[in-house]
Amino acid sequence: MAFTTLRLALVVPIAALAAALLAPAAHAQNDPASPVEISAPTERDYKECPAAYVCAFPQKKGGGTPVKIHQNQSGKHHLDIVAHSVQNRTSKVVTFYRWKARNGCARPSFTLQPGQRSDYAGGAPMNEEVRCIGIP
């Protein structure tokens, strides 16, 4: 009995240490320095974005008052803000661009499937900035 108690006393701290060391790897996709990170929305985030809209937020992780564009407004849309997070609540695949261009939008770019968001507006490849949105 004493041996089992001693063994458990040693195993539990080692398991807790292993869990603590492995936990940061599970959150790597939310690191702004990682390539384009994509995550599913949660109820507490992105409350300002209604269904059937693409939303561009001035702050990371859905913060601030978003620019909203309905999915029926096809084309390239120049934003009046620099967006630092975006959400696609449309039924379409939407493209987000870092730069505006005279006749539309300019690369680099990334896409989001319906229901996806980017907490850091595309991450490092986009310098966490979106200035133009393309809706098919």
Residue 130 and residue 110: Cα distance in Å, rounded? Answer: 10
Q: Going along the chain, which residue ranges are E strands?
A: 53-57, 67-70, 75-83, 85-88, 94-101, 104-112, 117-118, 130-135
Q: Residue 128: is its pLDDT beyond 80?
A: yes
Residue 115: give the domain boundaries: 2-135
Residue 24 and residue 111: Cα distance in Å, rounded? Answer: 26
Q: What is the mean pLDDT of residues 96-102?
A: 92
| Residue 62 belongs to domain with CATH number | 2.60.20.10
* Number of domains the chain contains: 1
CB half-sphere exposure, 75, CA atoms < 13 A: 7
The model's pLDDT over 43-88, given as tens digits with 9 standing for 90+, comes to: 556 888 999 999 999 999 998 899 999 999 999 999 999 999 999 9
